[in-house]
Amino acid sequence: MQKMIRIGTRESQLAVWQATQVKELLAEQGVGSELIYIKSEGDIDLKTPLYEMGVQGVFTRSLDSALLNQRIDIAVHSMKDVPTQLPEGLQEAAILKRGPVNDLLVYKKDIDFLTRKEHIAQIATSSIRRKAQWLHKYPTHQLLNLRGNVNTRLKKLETENWDAAIFAQAGLERIHLRPANSLVLDWMLPAPAQGAILIVCRQEDEGVVKACQPLNHPDTALCTRIEREFLRTLLGGCSTPISALAEVEDDEIYFRGQLLSLDGSRKVEVEKILPLERADGLGRVAAEELLERGGKEIADSIRSATSKPDVK
């Protein structure tokens, strides 16, 4: 008799939705499972900006630790939160079919502030990537820090005197919280692996891997691997404004990636279209090209700025 799989999840509504999706998909395969709730550092400290928290794995470390300590059998993560190098002893078990990849602008009253040059709009987000892209397009706007789970951030937007806040489209739509007063930011390139859900398990746990494999979506796995390879080659994390999106279309892979300075004033972009059979190494090749075209100077300046102890 197959053992009951213990699914580790954060306690936020979105995290529980993701874990429940995995539970239901496993049930369709005849595999029983239960949810185990684990607090993460990113959920406990809601005031410190993400780029000051060590960032890499801030939402995943607690679940990974529970996995290694055998308190759970699998961990379910938003893939964009997962460091490109998994902790020793863990492996990817499956990547679910991707949801919407875009970012979403939720505004208070209207979007006139996008065209009124005399108005210094106040836009809230905790993402360095979103801040940099927004400032590149709207350099006069003021960006403010916004932390917490989706519900907390929506409530904060209601109470503060801000014009708008930026969210992941998938996050709001998955738990049916997308407000009517929202706009898809189709010009904003997403974080690597945004919209994808990753299942992680212990190495050598072949029974769990076998149970999870039917849940794996090959196109999503390919695209997110390319995006994360791009990120890893640039040595980036949540404190670096790196964006990437790979898409499969008609037996071709279409890739876009970019790196911006923290203030959004400088941007380097790269685009590639290749046949699927030549997709191996695409993320690394694109990143190396971007570095040669000015990305290295931007990356070095970011590392220099963020390494100073007085930088906030």
Tens digit of each residue's pLDDT (9 = 90 or more) over 123-154: 999 899 999 999 999 999 999 999 888 999 99
Q: Which CATH class is domain 231-306?
A: alpha beta
Work out the pLDDT band at 283, boundaries 50, 70, 90.
Answer: very high
Please give the pLDDT value at position 308: 60
pLDDT-derived band at 307, boundaries 50, 70, 90: low
Check whether domain 103-185 has CATH 3.40.190.10, yes or no: yes
Beta-bridge mates of residue 246: 255
Distance CA 252, CA 71 (A): 42
Q: Is 265 helix (H, G, I), strand (E, B) or coil?
A: coil
Averaged pLDDT score across all residues of the chain? 90
Residue 263 or 51, more confident: 263
Q: Which one of the listed residues 81, 103, 163, 205 is annotated catalytic?
A: 81
What is the pLDDT averaged over residues 71-90?
93
Exposed, middle or buried by CB within 10 Å (0-12, 13-18, 19+), for 116? exposed
Over 50: is that where the pLDDT of 267 sits? yes
Higher pLDDT, 240 or 131: 131
Under the banding of pLDDT at 50, 70 and 90, the label for residue 271 is very high
Residue 229, Cβ density class (10 Å: 0-12 exposed, 13-18 middle, ≥19 buried): buried
What pLDDT, in 10s, does the model give residues 27-73? 999 999 999 999 765 444 444 333 333 444 556 888 999 999 999 99
Instruction: Reply yes or no on whether 81 is catalytic.
Output: yes
User: What gap in Å lies between CA 189 and CA 299, rounded to an integer?
Assistant: 18
Residues of the chain with CATH 3.30.160.40: 231-306
Measured over all CA atoms, what is the biggest interatomic distance in the chain, rounded to whole angstroms?
68
Given a cut of 90, whether residue 118 has pLDDT beyond it is no
16 within 8 A of 35, measured Cβ to Cβ: yes
309 pLDDT exceeds 90?
A: no
Domain with CATH 3.40.190.10 in the chain: 5-97+196-216, 103-185
CATH superfamily of 5-97+196-216: Periplasmic binding protein-like II (3.40.190.10)
